[in-house]
Amino acid sequence: MAEDPVGKKLQAAWLELSVPQCGYCQPGQIMSAAALLKRNAKPGDADINQAMQGNLCRCGTYTRIRAAIKQVAEKS
C-alpha cells in the first residue's frame, strides 16, 4: 500500500484520523477503500457503503473509515 499513490494517501488519512481501534479488520478495510478510490475518485456515501459492506468491524470504526475515505477523495 505504501508504494501505491492512493494507498499511501489512505494510510496517511488512517493515521491522521486514528481510524483503527484493535486493528484486526483494518487490512481489509484499507484495501477495499483503495479499490473504491481507484474505481471512483469522488465516492458518495452510497458508493462507500456498497464498497465497504463486505468488511465488518467489531470495534465500530465505520465513521472514521468513512471520514478517511472522504478526506482522501477531497484532497485528490
Non-local (6+) Cβ contacts of 72 within 8 A are 6, 9, 10, 13, 33, 37
Quote the least distance from Cβ 65 to ligand FES, whole Å: 9
Nearer to ligand FES, 9 or 64 (CB): 64
By CB under 6 A, the residues from 10 to 69 that bind ligand FES are 20-26, 57-59, 61
CB-CB contact of 1 with 28 (8 Å): no
Nearer to ligand FES, 5 or 27 (CB): 27
Question: Which triple of cell numbers denotes residue 20?
Answer: 483503527
In the complex, the residues that contact ligand FES under the rule CB under 6 A are 20-26, 57-59, 61
